Structure 1
Amino acid sequence: MPAEDPTTTATLLVCVTCKSDEGPLGANLFAALAERLAAEPDIALRPIECLSVCKRPCTVALAAAGKWTYVVGDLTRGAHVEDIVTAARRYAAAPAGIVPWRERPLPFRKGVVSRTPPLALVATPLV
């Protein structure tokens, strides 16, 4: 995986192994997002092999150093590319990665699979 660009404030990980009877949903979503995010310097796009949310394809994750990570499922190329871009922009702009619920696109309100604390928080010993 390429090194993160220091100017990037969010990484959008797209599960490219998500599929259905209709074909490679994840790979198709990744291709649409690659085209759409080409001019977004604050958002890095990375393909990822299986986010283990196979019952809710397509699945993406938003992550960044020092920020909460969100995993969101039930996304499609046809209906959600702009919602994903909007969510990624708002996530990139949020200092801790926590976008207020009402400011999230609808699929990012209803489709959250998990929210994981920043690794620095996890590594901090309890006192």
Structure 2
Amino acid sequence: MRDDGPESVSGEIILNVCTTCRDAGDPDPQAERPGAILARVLEAALAARASAGDPLPIRVEPVACLSVCKRPCTLAASAPGRWTYVWGDIDPATHVEDILDGLAKYAASQDGVVPWRERPDIFKKGVVARIPPFPRRDAAE
């Protein structure tokens, strides 16, 4: 069985960020959830990068739940023709630059697979799932 999925299709990367989970030790149930903070910080970092002339084709999409509640914050990157990755244990205060670095490499790859040695540590240690791309429509016909 091959492990390389269908040929890449260029396009926007969707970055789903879970906004529901909270840290287990958080004493304030009304505190802003880490995922909501992460989504906001990532959107600001992407906007700053675009303003500096170095945009990434990424759209941040907050979602209510990614069902990885034991590993907050969680995010998932997907794009047509690319492998989807889900990562957990993300810290919105310290991992934003690593996330952007990893996503830039994801965007530059043919199929969404970034070689292990080139991934930021959070994308190595925090990986929850790797999901194959959907077959291209013209390949399925």
Answer yes or no: same fold by TM over 0.5: yes
* Higher CA-based Rg: 2
Higher relative contact order (CA 8 A, sep 6+): 2
Q: CA deviation at 1:8?
A: 3.9
List aligned pairs for 1:113-124, cutoff 5 A.
113-120=128-135
Q: CA deviation at 1:108?
A: 0.3
Q: Deviations along 1:68-95, whole A, 9 cap, x unmatched?
A: 0000000011110111111111111111
- What is aligned with 1:4? none
List aligned pairs for 1:46-125, cutoff 5 A.
46-120=61-135
Question: What one-letter code is carried by the residue in structure 1 that aligns with 2:80?
Answer: A
Normalized against structure 1, the TM-score is what?
Answer: 0.85
Aligned length: 118
- What is aligned with 1:29? 38
Q: CA deviation at 1:43?
A: 1.3
- What is aligned with 1:3? none
Is the contact between residue 87 and residue 126 of structure 2 (CA under 8 Å) also seen in structure 1?
A: yes
1:18 aligns with 2:21: yes
* Off by >4 Å, runs of 4+ in structure 1: none
Q: CA deviation at 1:9?
A: 3.4
Normalized against structure 2, the TM-score is what?
Answer: 0.77
Report SS of the residue matched to 1:77: coil
Report SS of the residue matched to 2:17: strand
> How much is the aligned-residue C-alpha RMSD, in angstroms?
2.0
Q: Which runs of 5+ in 2 are unaligned?
A: 1-9
CA distance in 1, matches of 2:12, 2:68: 25
Is the contact between residue 8 and residue 44 of structure 1 (CA under 8 Å) also seen in structure 2?
A: no
